[in-house]
Amino acid sequence: MGRLLWVDLSERSIQEEPLEEEVRRNFTGGYGLGARMIYSHQKAGVDPLGPENILGILTGPCSGTPAIAGSRFMVVGKSPLTATWGDSDCGGYFGPELKFAGFDGVFFSGISDRPVYLLVENGKAELRDASHLWGKDTTETDERLKADLGKKVQIACIGPAGERLSLVSCVMHDRGRAAGRSGFGALMGSKKLKAVVARGDMKVPIADEARLRDLRKRYLAQLKESERAKLRQQYGTCAWLTGLVEVNDTPIRNWSGVGPIDFPTAERISDENVIKYEVKKYACYRCPIACGGHMKVTTGPYAAAGHKPEYETLASFGAMTLNDNVESIIKLNDLCNRAGLDTISAGSAIAFAMECYEKGLITDGDTEGIELRWGNAEAIVVMVEKMAKREGFGDVLADGVKVAAGRIGRGSEEFAVHCAGQEPGMHDPKYWPGLGMSYQLDATPGRHGQGGHWMEGFPDWWKRSLGVEDIPAGPNRHDYAGKGEAFKRAACMLHFIHSSGLCRFPWYHMDPASMWEFVSAVTGWRIEGEEAYRIGERIANIRQAFNIREGFNALEHAIHPRVVGLPPLREGPTSGITVDMDILLQDFLKAMEWDLVTGRPSRKRLIELGLKDVPKDLW
């Protein structure tokens, strides 16, 4: 749309800024553009919950276009959870609607003196009073705003957890879609910004409509032929849980267990046993996969209606806590969605507390009689309700495991599994070694969606055309020495795709070139694979530079020993494995031309990438 909004909540002022073609071309959009803008507009060392921390909500060039799954928007800023660079993305309809309302993104600074929401509509924006919404959960907020403004509005909002500045709170859209990671619910809460509401009917300009139509047709046909796409369509991400527990990819019992041995009933929270509660499927904007679903548990203690839990939610509230009661997880998903809590972090915090309880580090006296025993579904539900309200022991857990361990003390730090403060995703580097590198070295620590380690399992032609065929695969996945270039290429390609506003799930089942072809047709830029890769590398560098300028060196924040097999497991599919993090990190740093000790991007590479203003801040 070529326009950004800047909102100063302290001054209650709103300004428009044209989005220069050069910046768009160099950073695409989404979190790439967000990192570039915030790096330029924000000084280092600001309080993550203070007025100077800028919050960005951005779309990509493909959001709101007929490109397949151009559904995404991204929330960016300095993370309240890790105090590093943070970004988190979300599907649904909000990103497209923000474009129809006339803008590519909105940045917020300052702190409002009372709760407000921003209404963006057909090229205009205004701040409105949100006192009547403060305290309401995300479903109630959605209902009330739609009752006031009409059903067509799309909403990104926070729930009570964000209002109470929980560091593991998130930004919610459509009652069940989350920009979950990095604690951005707390950043919105600190600004007294309850919601951003978009409505519009402006047309997203497309450089070559005929080509875009042809591309959509061609790639819809590819998706139709893909068996894996059909599986995703049928189940969503819950299709993979049983299999991943069997190979020990899913973390079990707060990262200490062995899948098939310690959680043999995983199938109770996977596949058919989840979707039997699905009452309706749904899709994000113009996505043929439609992996989302509305769920209903009609009777019993966990009666609830809400969205289908993703794999990550089933793993964090299931395998991590040894809870095989699927109805309780549907309920927990809904509780978290309403409160605006990230399910990965919330489930991980409960698993950590359960281990502390089982080991006697905390007692009924701490938990007000709630028996946090492994597998106690009832106790998990009660404790999550308390987390959302910051009540009793829930308050101890409401800021994630690192802060909770600091509050509990008594040696509990030993069981607090996190990456520089963020709970890692629900995949295990002992199974995917490359994941250890992105858990530690990605600018937003602990993220499972970055890094591209999982590309190993993709068909050879697919990997070759992306240039990532060297990612170690199958039985050789532990031969990872010297594979830094392949991991770099995968990570940079993902930065490009994420920043384009496209969901990567359909991309898994299409020609890799589809993504830059879609971006080219929308923008008219004629991007090919090598330019996409270079844009991704530029994005990786500006995110990394943000962290270095903050004084954060990821190499000083080793991830929890359990995650990498220290000590190695004695039984099961990943027994005896310790990931050699030194090799992984050093190979990746060399490929990126980042300093092997400080992680600083080289001056030469920064200049080659056009980041000419950055070296003076780092060197």
List residues binding ligand SF4 (CB under 6 A): 69, 71, 91, 283-284, 287, 289-292, 503, 505-506
Closer to ligand SF4 by CB, 292 or 429: give it: 292
Closer to ligand SF4 by CB, 91 or 318: give it: 91
Closer to ligand SF4 by CB, 48 or 293: give it: 293
**Of 389, 451, 421, which is closest to residue 79 (Cα–Cα)?**
421
Residue 489 burial by Cβ neighbours in a 10 Å radius (0-12, 13-18, 19+): buried
Exposure on the CB side of residue 86, measured as CA atoms within 13 A: 33
Q: Judging by DSSP bridges, how do beta strands 193-199 and 177-179 pair with one another?
A: unpaired
Min dist CB 552 to ligand SF4, Å, is 30
Closer to ligand SF4 by CB, 70 or 433: give it: 70
CA 99 to chain centre: 21
Min dist CB 281 to ligand SF4, Å, is 9
The order of strands in the sheet holding 3-8 is: 13-18, 3-8, 105-109, 55-59, 73-78, 85-90
Residue pair 414/355 in contact by the 8 Å Cβ criterion: no
Closer to ligand SF4 by CB, 29 or 292: give it: 292
384/391 Cα distance (integer angstroms): 10
148 residue type, one letter: D
Alpha-carbon Rg for the chain, nearest whole angstrom, is 22
Min dist CB 497 to ligand SF4, Å, is 12
Min dist CB 226 to ligand SF4, Å, is 12
Closer to ligand SF4 by CB, 468 or 510: give it: 510
Provide the token pair at 395. Answer: 């308050």
Min dist CB 58 to ligand SF4, Å, is 17
Min dist CB 282 to ligand SF4, Å, is 8
DSSP-based three-state secondary structure for 42: coil
Closer to ligand SF4 by CB, 91 or 115: give it: 91
Closer to ligand SF4 by CB, 86 or 91: give it: 91
**Count of residues in the chain:** 619
CB neighbour list of residue 616: distance below 8 Å, 6 or more residues apart: none
**Of 271, 277, 226, 227, which is closest to residue 245 (Cα–Cα)?**
271
DSSP, res 489: H
User: Rounded to whole angstroms, what are the CA distances from 208 to 46, 213, 341, 522?
Assistant: 43, 9, 41, 6
Residue 414 burial by Cβ neighbours in a 10 Å radius (0-12, 13-18, 19+): middle
Closer to ligand SF4 by CB, 401 or 503: give it: 503
Min dist CB 431 to ligand SF4, Å, is 23
Closer to ligand SF4 by CB, 234 or 265: give it: 234
Min dist CB 237 to ligand SF4, Å, is 8
Min dist CB 290 to ligand SF4, Å, is 5
Residue pair 257/43 in contact by the 8 Å Cβ criterion: no
Q: Element (H or E) spanning 475, and its range?
A: none
User: Rounded to whole angstroms, what are the CA distances from 82 to 45, 192, 208, 419, 476?
Assistant: 13, 21, 42, 9, 34
Closer to ligand SF4 by CB, 290 or 513: give it: 290
Min dist CB 285 to ligand SF4, Å, is 7
Min dist CB 429 to ligand SF4, Å, is 24
User: Would you state the torsion angle of the CA atoms of residues 156, 159, 165, 169, taken in this order, to the nearest 10 degrees?
Assistant: -70
Min dist CB 501 to ligand SF4, Å, is 11
Place of tokens 């979950």: 180
Q: Element (H or E) spanning 58, and its range?
A: strand 55-59
CB atoms within 10 A of CB 230: 14
Min dist CB 546 to ligand SF4, Å, is 27
Residue pair 141/157 in contact by the 8 Å Cβ criterion: yes
Closer to ligand SF4 by CB, 90 or 187: give it: 90
Residue pair 407/430 in contact by the 8 Å Cβ criterion: no
The order of strands in the sheet holding 304-307 is: 278-282, 292-297, 304-307
Min dist CB 186 to ligand SF4, Å, is 25
Closer to ligand SF4 by CB, 222 or 553: give it: 222
185 residue type, one letter: G
Min dist CB 280 to ligand SF4, Å, is 13
Closer to ligand SF4 by CB, 60 or 259: give it: 60
Closer to ligand SF4 by CB, 75 or 503: give it: 503
Q: Element (H or E) spanning 376, and its range?
A: none
Residue 193 burial by Cβ neighbours in a 10 Å radius (0-12, 13-18, 19+): buried
**Of 148, 73, 66, 82, which is closest to residue 105 (Cα–Cα)?**
73
